[in-house]
């Protein structure tokens, strides 16, 4: 099931979130553009650890109404990404998440050149949450440049779930 394919969408629902919401000084942009021949949502930014900061992300609710979706029939996320060889996080939130820093996380590397990556849900690890990952109540997905100072450049052409 395709969650977003930027060849056909305008990236509605995706937004850029960075650490100034919590006092940090990281900054970034998110725009639809053509990257290496593919239409994509491109996040660029400077991740800074100053002022207890350290992230820039693109995120969207999985359901158009802000509710939840049932992903329990699927094995994981599939991302078409391009970058500069840096690591990023895929952060999944469910209806069980109460705090902004809570999520289930998987790490991926965005290499130069388009690649389709598979991130099995079984490899997502809880971050500051004790509840098990309940895929029947998935709410939000974020792709995050986090935890170290660097220049983020991540292009996302397609996001789907696979069985």
Cα distance between the two ends of the chain: 9
Question: Domain residues of the chain, as ranges?
Answer: 2-162
User: Distance (Å, rounded) from C-alpha 127 to C-alpha 122?
Assistant: 14
User: How far apart (Å, rounded) are the C-alpha atoms in residues 124 and 104?
Assistant: 5
Instruction: pLDDT band for 64, please (50, 70, 90 cuts).
Output: confident
Q: What pLDDT was estimated at residue 33?
A: 96
What is the C-alpha to C-alpha distance for residues 69 and 13, in angstroms, rounded to an integer? 15
Q: What mean pLDDT is predicted for residues 54-76?
A: 95
pLDDT of residue 7: 87
CATH architecture, range 2-162 = Sandwich (2.60)
Q: Compute the distance between CA of residue 13 and CA of residue 149 in angstroms, rounded to an integer.
A: 27
The answer on pLDDT for 92 being more than 90 is yes
Q: Are 130 and 99 in contact (CB under 8 A)?
A: no
* pLDDT score for 52: 80
Mean pLDDT over 42-62 rounds to 94
The SS3 call for residue 50 is: helix
pLDDT digits (tens, 9 = 90+) for 114-161: 999 999 999 999 999 999 999 999 999 999 999 899 999 999 999 999
Q: Which ranges constitute the DSSP H helices of the chain?
A: none
Span 84-100, average pLDDT: 94
Q: How many CB atoms lie within 10 A of CB 66?
A: 10
* Structural Rg of the chain based on CA atoms: 15
Task: Give the 3-state secondary structure of residue 139.
Answer: strand
Q: What is the model's pLDDT at position 106?
A: 98
* DSSP assignment letter at 95: T
The mean pLDDT of the chain is 95
């Amino acid at each position: 099931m395709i969650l977003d394919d930027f060849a056909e969408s305008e990236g509605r629902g995706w937004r850029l979130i960075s650490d100034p919401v919590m006092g940090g000084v990281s900054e970034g942009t998110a725009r639809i553009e053509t990257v290496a021949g593919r239409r994509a949502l491109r996040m660029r930014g400077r991740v800074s650890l100053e002022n207890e900061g350290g992230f820039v992300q693109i995120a969207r609710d999985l359901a158009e109404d802000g509710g939840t979706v049932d992903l329990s029939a699927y094995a994981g996320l599939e991302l078409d990404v391009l970058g500069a060889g840096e690591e990023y996080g895929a952060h999944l939130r469910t209806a069980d998440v109460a705090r902004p820093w809570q999520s289930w996380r998987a790490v991926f590397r965005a290499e130069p050149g388009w690649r389709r990556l598979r991130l099995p849900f079984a490899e997502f690890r809880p971050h500051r949450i004790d509840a098990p990952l309940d895929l029947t109540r998935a709410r939000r997905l974020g792709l995050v440049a986090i935890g170290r100072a660097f220049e983020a450049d991540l292009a996302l052409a397609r996001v789907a779930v696979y069985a």
